[in-house]
Amino acid sequence: MIEVSGLVKKYGDVTAVRGISFTAEPGKVTGFLGPNGAGKTTTMRILTGYTPPTAGKAVVAGFDVFEKSLAVRKRVGYLPENVPLYRDMTAIGYLMYLAEIRGVKNRRSRAEDVLTRVGLLKRAESQIRTLSKGMKQRVGLASALLHDPEVLILDEPTIGLDPFQVLELRDLVKELGKNHTVLFSTHILSEAEQVCDKVVIINRGEIVAQGAPQELRGELERGGRVLVRANGNVDVILTTMQQTNGVKEVTQIPEGFVVTPSEASLDPRPAVAKALVNANIELVEIRPLAVNLEEIFLELTRRVQPDTETPTDESLLAADVVAEAAKE
């Protein structure tokens, strides 16, 4: 269990984290999502007891990270970004070293257990410097699992892995989420959507949204808009759809037409399809403009950047369609 309330971290004049609050429940993978420099690593460093917060409170596994730092550190497994390891040690040697500092009993068998868990037992005696990036990542993960911690904090664990390794690691994280509290940071949105039970989106040190990926999507569905592709005279298509009942607005974009219904709950597709067919227009495709996490993220991180140009509705639409097209 991780409970964060009003957490602030300042480095001199720079405020990295501006009063964030969230919880991560046991038996779940909580995704910590944000662009680079959003404050993810800083927050994780506070949660692992590495750096103290400037203000606010964080309770990890039942202990305050600042007042009971050692108790927290005993119960947390941490995989820092870039996975620092001793390159001159063997994988098993490194794990046994950390196990000794942690006071883990049966060090060798425990180290072998976690190496088995991450699928690296056959490289146990290899020098860490000879391991591939993915293998190093797994050694790091194994070191976080050594003492069977209640809470696992993984800072961008999939960075730099090949697609196959990424899939493996995601499965492992999902698996670990079943009986640990896992906080998992990433800036890859589809990853958060696949792996996490809950997503906390952070930008510029502030939480901009949190909830299950599905909830977030529902919250931000933008008014049930649909994409229509049809062949025929553009003016005819536009006027036909504009005159259809329940249609508020029709916009032309390179990929086709975007129809906005007058009410968000109303599905304009049957009426629009009928009207087009009646007008002798060749209807090629009609489908909802689905909102995925990527779009939610883009929109949310745009919203809180007043100093950047406010995007127009058109550019958002274009982004939607580009994202859609990328899927296909």
Residues that bind other proteins (CB under 8 A): 11-12, 14, 16, 45, 48-52, 70, 73-74, 76, 78, 80, 82, 84-89, 97-98, 100-103, 143
Which residue number, 101 or 326, has a Cβ lying nearer to other proteins? 101
Torsion of CA 213, 218, 223, 228, to 10 degrees: 60
CB of 50 to other proteins, least distance (A): 5
Strands of the 226-231 sheet, one edge to the other: 247-253, 256-261, 226-231, 282-288
- Contact call for residues 297 and 33 (beta carbons, < 8 A): yes
CB neighbour class for 32 (10 Å; exposed up to 12, middle 13-18, buried from 19): buried
From residue 89, alpha-carbon distances to 63, 129, 130, 290 in Å are 33, 8, 10, 49
Which residue number, 39 or 256, has a Cβ lying nearer to other proteins? 39
CB of 103 to other proteins, least distance (A): 6
Instruction: Report the distance separating Cα 80 and Cα 279, nearest Å.
Output: 61
19 residue type, one letter: G
Which residue number, 129 or 287, has a Cβ lying nearer to other proteins? 129
- Contact call for residues 96 and 67 (beta carbons, < 8 A): no
Which residue number, 50 or 324, has a Cβ lying nearer to other proteins? 50
CB of 131 to other proteins, least distance (A): 15
Which residue number, 14 or 326, has a Cβ lying nearer to other proteins? 14
CB of 67 to other proteins, least distance (A): 15
* Residue given tokens 């892995």 in the structure block: 161
Which residue number, 12 or 163, has a Cβ lying nearer to other proteins? 12
CB of 327 to other proteins, least distance (A): 37
Query: Residue 181: what are its φ and ψ, rounded to 5°?
Result: -90, 120
Q: Are strands 181-186 and 28-33 parallel, antiparallel or unpaired?
A: parallel
CB of 105 to other proteins, least distance (A): 12
